[in-house]
Structure 1
């Protein structure tokens, strides 16, 4: 046998052995999901069975089909500990109340129950035991009762969304104890009373959404001490001077104070360069539009239905909006309104 033939034979043999070794290895799992912790699996089944119609809404939560709850709809687990870290259920017909058994998932970091029109009752106190929770989203449901102050015990919370419910009563002042809170959504409820005089722990405050409630009174002066990205107080019954919410040193991007009874002189307001969204429609704001507005890169501007006078400054984005952004003022004029 020639040397070249021997080399070819050796190469073929090595390739054959490599192929046999590869075929002898166990096939990799098609799923990257970790195996579910048995205690968490038990709690999830208790959670499911607490509702009156669990099977049509959570068909994959079937212990007779799969024993791995990490593969069930809306469930995510930690790859190392196998504990459930996220539960996200939305757009189903689950009927009933949030069970207290939710508190028995010790590693839960994110809880979302959203667009569940038959979810009723109050927010259970057991949720306060979820010390690792950083996101709580209970929105677009029929939850009722108060906004519970015990949510301030969730010290790791960064996002709180209780919007589009039937919550009543006042807003807890204790929410300023949440050091990492980045956004709070309490809009589209039936909340009453005044906005709390929150004392946040740093110069930055969470984005605040309180629109479409029945809040009354003045906005606390403390709101002027902080920087926000977004503040939405629209469609309430708030009143008073809001000029302290503005200033050249602020970094706010979106402000919606529409459909209240705010009353202040707009002509003396200095606007932050970061502002891109300003809605003041349907208030009692007077004065004129400052020339400084021409230097802002507005995506939306609406000052209609107020008591403004004078000529609309020319330049910037101000003429890019139509008459609906300016009409129904006392004596405002100039493009896009009729000339002065």
Structure 2
């Protein structure tokens, strides 16, 4: 499970500290019972009974907070046996701050647009499910949203272009879906919202990267295994705070030797592209490297952690040489 999604668990623990005296709000109870019905009354929700209090940890996966007048603030359903469509009534729990739907492969249907009405949401995880359809169109009203994890589903369609307007957004995890189209120009303007991680890997995204992505200064950029092409050098920069860049499995084509690496980068995977040139300066801090299946030439550097990389990090290039490959003539 993704590190950013784990922030949700910390959030739950903090919120639970204020819920010991809560009593379920009638409107929230009504909505939860409707959700139970929409999920086909699964056995793991047997604790959701009309005559019991949905707060005080008596209902599976439900937490409330006295800070919000005893409203339901957290809902977590994961790793249980469930065959159902995604329950549309979730979008009606108006005080919800965290929603965690994880590892429910038989949860199908689409994510309802009504989920964007949950303007108090801080953490949203819908991951490892069978849901399909487009990504909901979040707007600037979702001003509290910090982590948006919709990874490992069957979502299709394009990337929502207005995410940059979400002022608190830190993690965007759309990897392992069936998303298509190009990366919007607006994705170069996340800096104002403090985005730290952007993972769009393992989709069917295509086209060239917008030049605006040069503005990105985030910790993690993952675009691996799409159908992207052209120049990706704008993702790099010596003054950036980047830790991880993975652009492997695309059709990128640019001069590797001319990029400038951040002083903080530790993980770099550019394998399976059409990248040419030699190695850039500033490789000393890279602890994981894969440049295989490209068109690189020249001698492999003897700096930093390079003596720990085996031949698989460098194979199938045009004319790389030096340890761990055959020596240069």
Task: Decide: shared fold, TM above 0.5.
Answer: yes
Structure 1: gaps of 5 or more residues: 1-30
- CA deviation profile, 1:287-339 (whole Å, cap 9, x unmatched): 1113421x22x231110111111111112111111111111111111111111
Q: SS state of the match for residue 231, structure 1?
A: strand
Superposition deviation, residue 45 in structure 1: 1.2
Q: SS state of the match for residue 292, structure 1?
A: coil
Structure 2: gaps of 5 or more residues: 1-18
Q: SS state of the match for residue 228, structure 2?
A: strand
Superposition deviation, residue 247 in structure 1: 1.4
Cα distance in 2 between the residues matched to 1:189 and 1:235: 11
Q: What corresponds to 2:316 in structure 1?
A: 328
Establish whether residue 67 from structure 1 lines up as the match of residue 59 from structure 2: no
Q: SS state of the match for residue 267, structure 1?
A: helix
Cα distance in 2 between the residues matched to 1:245 and 1:135: 27
* Aligned ranges 1:8-23 → 2 under 5 Å: none
Q: What corresponds to 2:65 in structure 1?
A: 78
Cα distance in 1 between the residues matched to 2:257 and 2:323: 18
| 1:50 aligned to which of 38, 46, 49 | 38
Establish whether residue 160 from structure 1 lines up as the match of residue 148 from structure 2: yes
Contact kept, 8 Å, 1:265 with 1:287, in 2: the verdict is yes
Contact kept, 8 Å, 1:304 with 1:329, in 2: the verdict is yes
Cα distance in 2 between the residues matched to 1:100 and 1:203: 29
TM-score normalised over the length of structure 1 = 0.85
Q: SS state of the match for residue 160, structure 1?
A: strand
RMSD over aligned CA atoms reads 1.8
Cα distance in 1 between the residues matched to 2:226 and 2:191: 27
| 2:207 aligned to which of 212, 217, 220 | 217
Q: 1:126 to 1:204 in 2, by over 3 A?
A: closer
Contact kept, 8 Å, 1:229 with 1:251, in 2: the verdict is yes
**Number of corresponding residues:** 306
Larger radius of gyration: 1
| 1:127 aligned to which of 102, 115, 129 | 115
* Aligned ranges 1:306-317 → 2 under 5 Å: 306-317=294-305
Contact kept, 8 Å, 1:33 with 1:77, in 2: the verdict is no
Cα distance in 1 between the residues matched to 2:215 and 2:87: 40
Cα distance in 1 between the residues matched to 2:191 and 2:247: 25
Contact kept, 8 Å, 1:204 with 1:226, in 2: the verdict is no
Q: 1:203 to 1:112 in 2, by over 3 A?
A: closer
Superposition deviation, residue 151 in structure 1: 5.5
* Aligned ranges 1:1-340 → 2 under 5 Å: 32=20, 34-52=22-40, 54-63=41-50, 66-71=52-57, 72-80=59-67, 81-150=69-138, 153-198=141-186, 199-200=189-190, 202=192, 204-293=194-283, 295-296=284-285, 298-340=286-328
- CA deviation profile, 1:168-197 (whole Å, cap 9, x unmatched): 111111111111110111111111110111
Q: SS state of the match for residue 172, structure 1?
A: coil
Question: Mean alpha-carbon deviation: is it higher for 36-45 or for 250-259?
Answer: 36-45
TM-score normalised over the length of structure 2 = 0.88
Contact kept, 8 Å, 1:219 with 1:242, in 2: the verdict is yes
